[in-house]
Structure 1
Amino acid sequence: MTIADLAPTAPTTEENRPLYRATGVTRTYAQKGRTVKALTGVDLEIMPGEFVTIQGPTGGGKSTLLQLLGALDSPSAGSLLLNGTELATASAKELGRIRAEEIGFVFQGFNLIPTLTAAENVNMALEPMNLDRAERSRRVAEALAHVGLDDRGDHLPTELSGGQQQRVAIARAIVKRPRVLLADEPTGNLDESMRDEILALLESLCAEGITMIVVTHDSAVARRATRRLRLSKGTVQDITR
């Protein structure tokens, strides 16, 4: 089984059209009576199937950019398109649909519910989707098998290693068959060996069709990407070598 089995049956993204296109994206916040500019006029294109890493200093805007790309926040100014949909002006309902169906999220802290099994944690990602029980069970089993945990579905997070917990988190992200996977320091809590295993899994998913965007402080992770971006003082620079 490949990610093609987990991907939408009729994707509409054109290969020659950017999956993301940011034009003049700015994000400001009011903080203690002053205006903080987290992003200042970001211009960026990300093509379908790219593996992109984002590096930069703390406070440079990395988390803000990831939230905008994940439809978790909206720009203060500028245009941000995902597969042709304008995220800056989309309704809350449309943004919710996009998050539920088109974007997978992976975090440093795994964010698994400790009282649920691996399979139940993965199944949670399908809650917003109108799927019957049989289809949900099938997708969960396929996603766990895809990350090499088909024999761990009935285990609680405390019964799994850190690397296995992150694999469950990745299965939860891909079970809804997203176009893009956004990862915030996905190897930050793992040792070097587990880091390399998770990186290899992310690379394989990208090779099979999922666009990968990873925020990382680890240069060893960044070097594995096809494109490297640096975000500092709210602006983006492409540092791909």
Structure 2
Amino acid sequence: MTIADLEPTTPRREDEHPLYRVAGVTRTYTQKGRIVKALTGVDLDIMPGEFVTIQGPTGGGKSTLLQLLGALDTPSTGSLLLDGRELASASAKELGRIRAQEIGFVFQGFNLIPTLTATENVDMALEPLGLDRAQRRTRVAEALAHVGLDDRGDHLPTELSGGQQQRVAIARAIVKRPRVLLADEPTGNLDESMRDEILTLLESLCAEGITIIVVTHDSAVARHATRRLRLTKGVVQDITK
């Protein structure tokens, strides 16, 4: 069984409309009394099912853009649509619902709770969805099996390798059956072999219909993408070709 075989919490539309439409987005904030322009005018469409990487220098706005796409923050100006819904003016409650149901997150540091088993870490992502215990148990088992860790559910993070911990983190991201998976340097703490395993897993999830957006400094990671973006001084360029 694949993620595509499972009934999603939010119906997926099979059309040619962008999943994300970003138009004239800026993001400024104050840091130590000075104004920082993290994004200075981003225009970007991301289609359903794309595998997109975002590269660029440190401080160029990559993580800021990922936070906006993940409904963790809102633009200072401009329009940010997710499947036609305006995130820039959405309420905090609506943004929270979107994060809980439609967007999966994976981070460089895994962000697993060390005192919880793999099963318990994955299960935490289902708490906002109001599922009963049996549904949660089934979903967690399926997600761990999907990342090849069905025999590691009772292990603590310290009992797993770095690659296995990142697989748990990916299982936690996909257990809610998201439309998009956002990853910030997901292979940054892994060696080449483990990096390639994680990339293969991300590619397989993309093939099953999940839109993958990865921030990375690693050109080897970017080569796996169907579309490569570069973000420099707050402006996006498509460098796929």
- TM-score bin (small chain): over 0.9
- TM-fit CA distance, 1:12: 3.9
Letter in 2 for 1:135: Q
Distance 1:10 1:106, change over 3 A: closer
- TM-fit CA distance, 1:166: 0.4
2: CA distance between counterparts of 1:119 and 1:15? 35
2: CA distance between counterparts of 1:80 and 1:210? 19
Tell me how large the CA RMSD over aligned residues is.
1.0
- TM-fit CA distance, 1:7: 5.1
Kept in 1: contact 2:21–2:82 (CA 8 A): yes
Kept in 2: contact 1:119–1:140 (CA 8 A): yes
Letter in 2 for 1:45: D
Aligned to 1:213: 213
Aligned to 1:68: 68
Aligned to 1:113: 113
1: CA distance between counterparts of 2:89 and 2:163? 38
Kept in 1: contact 2:25–2:78 (CA 8 A): yes
Aligned to 1:96: 96
Structure-to-structure mapping, 1:92-241, within 5 angstroms: 92-241=92-241
Q: Deviations over 1:198-229 (max 9, x none)?
A: 00000000000100000000000001100000
Letter in 2 for 1:85: R
- TM-fit CA distance, 1:31: 2.2
Distance 1:67 1:9, change over 3 A: closer
Letter in 2 for 1:30: T
SS of equivalent to 1:126: helix
2: CA distance between counterparts of 1:14 and 1:73? 27
1: CA distance between counterparts of 2:214 and 2:6? 21
Aligned to 2:57: 57
Kept in 1: contact 2:48–2:211 (CA 8 A): yes
Stretch moving more, 28-37 or 219-228? 28-37
Letter in 2 for 1:110: F
2: CA distance between counterparts of 1:19 and 1:7? 19
Structure-to-structure mapping, 1:32-51, within 5 angstroms: 32-51=32-51
Q: Any stretches of 5+ residues in structure 2 without a counterpart?
A: none
- TM-fit CA distance, 1:9: 6.4
2: CA distance between counterparts of 1:2 and 1:42? 34
2: CA distance between counterparts of 1:193 and 1:62? 25
Distance 1:63 1:9, change over 3 A: closer
Aligned to 1:17: 17
1: CA distance between counterparts of 2:31 and 2:211? 34
- TM-fit CA distance, 1:30: 1.5
- TM-fit CA distance, 1:130: 0.8
SS of equivalent to 1:81: strand
TM-score in terms of structure 2 length: 0.98
2: CA distance between counterparts of 1:197 and 1:170? 12
SS of equivalent to 2:165: helix
- TM-fit CA distance, 1:196: 0.3
Q: What is the aligned residue count?
A: 241
